[in-house]
Amino acid sequence: MEKNLELQEMTVEEMKTFIKLGKKKEEMFQALQKGNGMKGILNVAYELLENPITVCDTSFSIIENYPLHSNDKDFEIRNGKQYMKTEAVQSMHRERLVERIFSETAPFTFYRDALGVNMMYCRISIKRSVVGYICVLARKRSFETTDFEIVRTLSQMLSVEMQKNSFFTERTGFKYEYFLTDLLDGNMVGKEFIEQRIRQLGRKPMRHYWIMTGMFEKEQDIYMNQRYYIEQMVTIIKNSIALFYKGHIVLLTSAEARIPFDVAEEVKIKDFLTLNRMKLAISHQFDNPSDAQLYYQQTIRLLSVCGSLETSACVLRYGEYMIESLIDPKMKKIQRKAAIHPDIKYLIAYDRENRTEYFHTLRVYISCGRNALRSAETLHIHKSTFFYRMNKIAELLGGPIEERLFQCEISLRLLKLSGDKSGNSNTTGK
């Protein structure tokens, strides 16, 4: 009789627990539907778990925690945001905890010696890609069987909440995307701190940095998942990290040499870009990763004008098209033509009237780095003929040409961006 009564009491308790669990799940769904945000969902989960909950992204920084609590052993505050310390990340790697977080689909417990507390972890996924993880500290009470189910449900709710939030819409699951987003948004400062984060993410910070931004020539050229393109580019360009950011693939790479990749890598990346109908803009070299946002903007400026450039190249270096990039892409064609130096317009008109090649000669001279011998070879004329033409140009323009070469070069770039084909060789070779 006593055993039956005890069994009956256990059954009633199980039913009460089941009903309570169901109600809390329903409350989490309601918090999600009402748009109470991540904190609202965590509030409901905390009432059942009775232990502090932390949600981290895949670069080991805190997205949200409830109730608000600190962990000085693991985290440090930078720019108002909590990031995991290098030593803590290294410890998690040594304990193979990071591997378990990103590979196991169900919640699991793990005893952290450094904190002297048992913890429950569960990853958060969007379309099979891990975007973060939940961490529950057994600070108030020990974990119970029902806690695993509530944390699993919490993971699903947070996945939906993250997809509602535009901040997560372009994620592809790479562990360094949150770090790069903060960097490109200008939310991270301090070279030493940033380079610590790069090391945490499995890359080696070196002397020089570059930002590279990839763009598809046409939106319909995107045939594969974003993750495929990122994986391929990171594989080709060593020591790089990448993400899909504001509609583009963006990479941060670092090297000791003053070039972002060697000859073999350049061949491979060009083949990849050509096959996938992409353009890759490369920033100037920079030495402080805190400046990444500025150099990202260089690549965006370059991509904004690449459709007007007279080039079929798939790799565009900012240094080669710096002048074009500085020109306002919103400037109308008629405004660009008006900005062309009068000397250039005069030479074009003179050549048309007199069947000469002075404008073409000047254009070749500038494109050859103002090297007279190279210019003569390119024009297939004797060097004495070249010098005769240059002297004649100076005579026509009323003074030494060297003083106006920079303005002439800018004008030539404007001419290209305007799509003006003036000055093509159609003369007798004078």
pLDDT tens digits along 82-133:
777 777 877 887 888 888 888 898 999 999 887 788 999 999 887 666 778 9
Cα distance between residue 140 and residue 301, in whole Å:
54
- pLDDT of 277: 86
Q: What is the pLDDT of residue 427?
A: 44
Nearest one of 398, 345, 401, 343 to 375, comparing CA atoms: 401
Among 71, 10, 22, smallest CA distance to 48 is for: 22
The tokens for 94 are 């040594």
What is the model's pLDDT at position 337? Answer: 80
State pLDDT tens for residues 378-395. 999 999 999 999 999 999
The predicted model scores a pTM of 0.60
Peptide bond into 67 cis (omega under 30): yes
Q: Cα dihedral sign for 301, 303, 306, 311?
A: positive
Residue type, 360: H
At 7 the pLDDT is 47
Question: Is the pLDDT assigned to residue 338 strictly greater than 60?
Answer: yes
- Please tell me which of 15-29, 118-132, 326-340, 381-395 the model is most confident about, judged by mean pLDDT: 381-395
282 DSSP β-pair partners: 212, 317
> Are 90 and 112 within 8 A, CB to CB?
no
Closest listed residue to residue 21, CA positions, set 153, 157, 133, 156: 153
Classified as helix, coil or strand, 202 is: coil
Beta-strand ranges (E) seen in 17-61 are 53-57
Residue 292 has pLDDT above 50, yes or no: yes
**pLDDT tens digit string along 32-74?**
566 677 888 888 888 888 999 999 877 677 888 888 776 777 7
Query: Over 90: is that where the pLDDT of 356 sits?
Result: yes
Helix (H, G, I), strand (E, B) or coil at 208: strand
pLDDT at 93: 79
Of the candidates 232, 153, 188, 193, the one whose C-alpha atom is nearest the C-alpha of residue 79 is 188
